[in-house]
Amino acid sequence: MKWVQVVAALLTVMPYVTGCGEGSTAATSQTNTDNNTAAANMTVTEPSPSTPAVSSANSSTSYTLVSSSGTIISPTNNSAANNAASFGSTGTEGRLEADNVDLTPLSDAERAAIKITTPTATARIIQESILGFDSRFQVIPASYPERAVTLITYNGNTHCSGWLVSKDTLVTAGHCVHGGGSTGRWGAPTAFKVYPGFSDGYAPYGSCTPRELYSTYGWITNADSNADIGIIKLDCTVGNSTGYFSYAVTDTIDNTAVNINGYPGDKAGGGQQWGSKGIVLYATPTKIHYDNDTTGGMSGSPVWVQDSTTAWAFGIHTNGENTLAPGSNSGTRISKDVFDLITAAKALP
């Protein structure tokens, strides 16, 4: 079944929907020696220790939200048949309607540092793969939805990708914000910067920083790849300008043509947005496997399709080819649990 048909069927049976409002930084270890001086001038913020409050989380579900400051949130079951889709926004073309966005142009040192993709202590090494011929293509993120895809930097250089789902809420991979497992650590929120629509050293929509980081109980305690989900609540409302993605739960996604957009570390040091087109090869209740090409830095990218003027996401890119899933890259599927988790995070202050 084609995606447009899936969405049409979904909306036909649902009288109500929620309203409007990668990989890992360690997946590539490429260091540009020409930029070492710039990197040496960057202030490095060490990751935060895992919070003891995690031990009190409800371990019956891998999808309990846990924040970097220790807050535990059990998402409400919002994903009944009448609530399985959340509509996005195309933003405000040509106008900056966001609050608290830093519009200071990047310095030469900051542009150079972004090209250094060394791993952080928060990151777990995640393989990502070119499957045969590299079919990726550069994207100029001047319009929706590409401008709602973000570059995420840590300490000014290592990076992941992400995508906006509200004016101030960003979805990414769990391993982009926390190292995973009981020995993993949170990235320090103050060390992150988010650049929507970043391209060739320029940030036309400015940058924002996190107010809070979130991941799942399953990821931060067991590195559960089925729960490899990260949420960043921003200190700005940049999504009002860029727009943000719709997302939905679907029953049938096999053989669907999908896009993945993100910031691969092997292209301009992660300073350009690149896209990849492919097909969903197969899916499980928690994962989707596709033949889109990806490399380190694209973790957290949306797995999405275009339906008229709306961009629908139904996955989060997290992993490359491995022995358990040869011939495909993969991501976390937007299941009912993941839908509820994202929707709960959007409602947080």
List the catalytic residues: 175, 299
Strand runs (DSSP E) across the chain, as ranges? 65-67, 72-73, 85-86, 137-139, 149-154, 158-164, 169-172, 192-196, 210-216, 230-234, 246-248, 257-262, 273-283, 287-290, 302-307, 310-319, 329-333
What CA–CA distance (Å, rounded) separates 160 from 117?
10
Question: What is the helix (H) or strand (E) element at residue 217, kind and residue range?
Answer: helix 217-222
What CA–CA distance (Å, rounded) separates 59 from 39?
40
Residue with tokens 């990726």: 136
**The one-letter amino acid at 110:** E
Report which of 84, 85, 65 is spatially closest to residue 341, judged by C-alpha positions: 65
**The one-letter amino acid at 284:** T
**The one-letter amino acid at 202:** Y
Phi, psi of 255 (to 5 degrees): 70, 10
